[in-house]
Amino acid sequence: MSDVVTTVLFEHPLNEKMRTWLRIEFLLQQMHANTQITSISTALLFFRTASDLLDVLERGEVRTDLLKELERQQQKLSQWQDVPGVDLSRIDALRSELKQNAAVLFKAPRIGQALREDRLMALVRQRLSIPGGCCSFDLPTLHIWLHLPQSHRDSDVREWLDTLNPLNNALTQVLDLIRQSGAFKNQISLNGFFQENAEGADLLRLRISLENQLYPQVSGHKTRYAIRFLPLDSERGQVPARLTFELACC
């Protein structure tokens, strides 16, 4: 991280749906950041992340939940149309984008199915749980794939990621709108503790100064939450009696 960073942003989900979405976003970002596979180390990073993503997708109704949220966001936007001074063109553009993402997601094949059925992906996933199980003598298929022209590997990666575009586009728009729904406000914790109501909220976002090297430990659900600030150095670190931080409840 750069030394010029003066605040750190933390996000905490207040329900299981948001927890899953943030994990999927985290994994998709890693996959898109590691598309240039040039060695066994970069290959394993990509395949392990893809495998983690498939595991997360198998645990819940991700498509159904996203489609419901896309519809909910359209309804929320429609309520703004009669508010004086609202940029109607912007509202219409967002609603159109929501409808398009919903239509594409609805028509798309089962999310992640193309990756599950890919032979190379399946072979690598089988060996990831074995310590050192992706050596060349264990996975000669991966070994020869890594020696193909870079353009061939790049093409395979693009095809894999393209199959995830309906998920990625819908999730990105949903999370952007949820994050924008809550404005940051200055708050004060006393002796490292803060609590508040969160009726109907999905996500907490905290900005904390890096100066004190503190991190938040959040407990709560959709109606109420509590935040305890703890020092990175558990032995010598100190928590100010009054700590100012920024909080957005989205």
For residue range 31-52, list pLDDT tens digits in order: 999 999 999 999 999 999 999 9
Alpha helix ranges (H) inside 34-164: 40-57, 62-78, 88-107, 113-117, 119-128, 140-145, 150-162
Query: What single-letter DSSP state applies at residue 111?
Result: T
State the distance between the two ends of the chain, measured CA to CA, in whole angstroms: 26
- pTM assigned to the model: 0.92
Same domain, 110 and 231: no
Q: What is the pLDDT of residue 134?
A: 92
Question: Following CA atoms 22, 23, 28, 30 in sequence, which dihedral angle do they give, to the nearest 10 degrees?
Answer: 110
Query: Rounded to an integer, what is the distance from CA 33 to the centroid of its chain?
Result: 13
Q: What is the pLDDT of residue 222?
A: 67
Apex 197 CA angle, 191 and 203, nearest 5? 95
Task: Provide the mean pLDDT of the chain.
Answer: 92
Same domain, 83 and 191: no
8 vs 6: CA distance, rounded Å: 7
Residue whose entry in the numeric block shows the structure tokens 């109607």: 88
Same domain, 167 and 222: no
247 vs 182: CA distance, rounded Å: 9
pLDDT category of residue 125 using cuts at 50, 70 and 90 = very high
pLDDT tens digits, one per residue of 43-77 = 999 999 999 999 999 987 999 999 999 999 999 88
The enclosing domain of 49 has a CATH number of 1.10.3900.10
Does 222 fall in a domain? yes
Does 195 fall in a domain? yes
Q: What is the pLDDT of residue 200?
A: 82
Taking residues 97-126, report their average pLDDT.
Answer: 95
Does 22 fall in a domain? no
Listed residues 179, 194, 210: the one ending a domain: 179
Are the C-beta atoms of residues 173 and 98 closer than 8 Å to each other? yes
Are the C-beta atoms of residues 46 and 31 closer than 8 Å to each other? yes
47 vs 165: CA distance, rounded Å: 17
pLDDT category of residue 5 using cuts at 50, 70 and 90 = low
Q: What is the pLDDT of residue 143?
A: 96
Same domain, 142 and 37: yes
Q: Which of 6-20, 132-146, 211-225 has the lowest mean pLDDT?
A: 211-225
Same domain, 171 and 212: no
Q: Which domain holds residue 231?
A: 183-247
Q: What is the pLDDT of residue 36?
A: 93
Share of the chain above pLDDT 70, in %: 97
Q: Total structural domains in the chain?
A: 2
